[in-house]
Amino acid sequence: LSRHPPGKGPSLSILADSREISCGAEVISSLRAVHGLRVQVCSLGSSDYIVSTRLAVERTFQSELQGPGNRNRLSQRLQRLQGLFQRVCVILETDRARPGETSRLFQRTQYYDGVLSALVQAGIRILFSSCQEETAVLLKDLALLEHRKGAAIGVPTELEGPRQDLLGFYLSIPTLSYVGALQLCHCFGCPRDLANSSPSAVAAAARLSRDGAEEIQRYLRHSFDPQLLP
Amino acid sequence: PVTAGSVVVPYGHVIGNEKWRGSEVAQKLQGKVRLIFEDGLGLVDFHLSNRTCILYISEADLVAGDEFKRRLVRFRNASNLRGLVIVEKTQISDQYFSAVQKLVVLELGMVLLPVANQGEAAQLIVQLVSVCVREQSRDQGSNPFLHKQRPRLAEPALLQTAQHIPGVGKTKALLLLQHFGSIHRLCNASISELEKVVGQTAARQIHTF
């Protein structure tokens, strides 16, 4: 974990999914310019933001929870995140009024309350935001909190040259998150080192749970049966 | 008197603090859930199940000052129940919302759900109760956000993983996995073992990686 120099705030890293460049540009620029965070934009695929070694954040609009239209997309994404991360958070952002529209009244549907209740029961944290700038504040607060708990992203988030091949290799391990793969890149310079390490060594180095590390080792040792290919 | 301990809630019922008798929330809950009033619930406004309860913060509480914060902290320290905080977020109380959210969610680690008025609160409580009932009846499959452990085949993923080795495409990946059986054994293969499966150049590339 990188220790920040005394007197200065910690320089925290956040990973943002590349889709957020188009739909959350103000979130990203506000994180960088106002809050001084390092935001690495990369192709996360799974979630919109990764705030620490164990916390993923999904940014969603209130309107998406209004009716069953987006139910599958959201539930599939969150189910997947629940498998990859110890903690999952949803930031529920108020929809922006379109130009020419006087503030649309938010009609609270029964469906919306049902979704909120299901999220609560699934142990997913919910935060409410009124705009992109506020979402950036919440992401910063989450990153600070995780830093205090010793879970901050402590490795460089930018990789060059052959390290990118290595990252791609680690990312293809199904149970591993993007930040988990990044951590592995920094601890295990080649797949051989990873394959020959004990689960406890992997867990300690890559800041994974013991179960998560065992799952990786099981995957690497899985005996391949070509009959089972689709 | 700090009372934050558990209460036995009959299946499908809600136990409400006596002070809510006759309120709009209580009226709107009538007929949708079975509501029982009890004295001496202390800090808690509603018990939804044996382990889930609601603390309600009204617009007036927010405007009045910090008393509600002390109440939340006392609850958090005294109870291991899952506390859901429902807060009235109105035009007047909106300015307090982000500070309340920071305290409740980030500092106390509790759940915060904003509503515009008591009518919305009643509708939300009805949904929360139905989730609690499903939870008690162990009908977990009905929650679309809970992670389901589906046993997935590792084979397609392994083929993908092998293709991330420089110089290895689909054909070589398949050959290598068939020959060595696992990624672990592939990683520990010597150059001469690799050369028997793929060409010299590829074997060296794989070994270096």
Which pLDDT score is estimated for B31? 86
Nearest to A138 by CA among A189, A80, A90, A177: A90
- CA pair distance A228, B79, nearest whole angstrom: 51
Contact B143 A223 (CB under 8 A): no
- CA distance to partner chain A, nearest, from residue B123 (Å): 7
Query: Can you give the pLDDT at residue A3?
Result: 46
Instruction: Write out pLDDT tens, residues A73-88.
Output: 888 899 999 989 999 9
Give the A window 166-195 contacts with B, CB below 8 Å: 166, 168-169, 171-174, 190-192, 194-195
Task: Kindly tell me the sign of the dihedral angle through the C-alpha atoms of B107, A15, A188, B181.
Answer: positive
Tens place of pLDDT per residue across chain B (209 aa): 556 666 788 888 999 999 999 999 999 998 899 999 998 888 999 999 888 999 999 999 999 989 999 999 999 998 889 999 999 999 999 999 999 999 999 999 999 999 999 999 999 999 999 988 887 776 666 788 887 666 678 899 999 999 999 999 999 999 999 999 999 999 999 999 999 999 899 999 999 99
Residues of A within 8 A of B197 (CB-CB) are: none
> Residues 54..73 of B with a Cβ closer than 8 Å to A: which?
none
- What is the C-alpha to C-alpha distance for residues A57 and A80, in angstroms, rounded to an integer? 12
Mean local confidence (pLDDT), A185-205: 92
User: Is the confidence at residue A154, as pLDDT, over 90?
Assistant: no
CB B38 within 8 A of CB B16: yes
Residue B163 near residue B170 (C-beta atoms within 8 A) = yes
Q: Which strand (E) or helix (H) includes residue A41?
A: strand A38-42
Q: Give chain B's count of helices (H) and strands (E).
A: 10, 6
Say which CATH architecture domain B154-208 belongs to: Orthogonal Bundle (1.10)
Note whether A212 and A179 are within 8 A (CB). Answer: no
Please answer yes or no on whether B157 and A78 come within 8 Å at the CB atom: no
From CA B106, how far away is CA B196, in angstroms rounded?
58
Supply the DSSP string of A124-168, one letter for each residue: -EEEEESSHHHHHHHHHHHHHHHHHTT-S--S-S---THHHHHHH
Look up the pTM and report it.
Answer: 0.91
Residue A46 C-alpha, separation from nearest chain B C-alpha, in angstroms: 14
Instruction: Please answer whether residues B77 and B110 qualify as being in contact, where contact means their C-beta atoms are separated by less than 8 angstroms.
Output: no
Report DSSP state, residue B107.
I
Beta bridge partners of B53: B47, B83
Question: How near does any CA of chain B get to the CA of A19, in Å?
Answer: 22
φ, ψ dihedrals at B154, nearest 5°:
-80, -20
Cα–Cα distances (Å) from A150 to A145, A210, B43, B155, in that order, read 9, 17, 33, 36
How many Å apart are CA B18 and CA B37, to the nearest integer?
5
β-strand A49-50 against A55-61: which pairing, if any?
Answer: antiparallel
What does the pLDDT read at residue A228? 84
- Cβ atoms A181, A159 nearer than 8 A: no
Q: What is the pLDDT of residue A69?
A: 79
* Minimal CA separation from A82 to chain B, in Å: 6
Residue A1: predicted pLDDT: 40
What is the CATH topology of the domain spanning B13-137? Rossmann fold (3.40.50)
CB contact under 8 A, A121 and B97: no
Average pLDDT, chain A: 89
Roughly what angle, to the nearest 10 degrees, separates helices A162-171 and A178-187? 130
Scored b (16 or more CB within 10 A) or e, B73-100 reads eebbeebebbbbbbbbbbeebeebbbeb
pLDDT at site A73 = 85
pLDDT score of A106 more than 80: no
Q: Dmax over Cα atoms in chain A, in whole Å?
A: 62
d(C-alpha B38, C-alpha B23), whole Å: 14
Please report where in the chains the tokens 């270096």 appear, as a residue.
B208
Instruction: Give the torsion sign (CA, A158, A163, A164, A170).
Output: negative
Chain B residue with CA closest to A123: the answer is: B146
pLDDT value of residue A72 = 81
Q: Is B77 on the interface with A (CB under 8 A)?
A: no
Mean pLDDT computed over A172-191: 92
**Residues A230, B84: C-beta atoms closer than 8 Å:** no
Which residue in A152, A135, A132 sits closest to A143, CA to CA?
A: A152
Q: What pLDDT, on the 0 to 100 scale, is given for residue B139?
A: 63
Residue numbers in A near B113 (CB within 8 A): 116, 120, 126
B120 touches chain A (CB under 8 A): yes
- pLDDT value at residue A70: 75
- Spatial separation of the C-alpha atoms in residues A87 and A55, rounded to whole Å: 5
State the best of B120, B158, B175, B179 to mutate against chain A, taking most chain A CBs within 10 Å. B158
User: A118: which chain B residues are within 8 Å (Cβ-Cβ)?
Assistant: 131, 143-145
End-to-end CA distance of chain B: 66
- Please give the pLDDT value at position A2: 44
Model confidence at A48: pLDDT above 50: yes
Domain ranges of chain B: 13-137, 154-208
Min Cα separation B1/chain A (Å)? 29
Which residue in this structure is represented by tokens 């549907």? A109
pLDDT of residue A105: 64
Please name the residue that has the structure tokens 């209740």: A117
Mutate to test the interface with A, among B103, B184, B206 (most CBs of A within 10 A): B184
Mean pLDDT of A200-206: 89
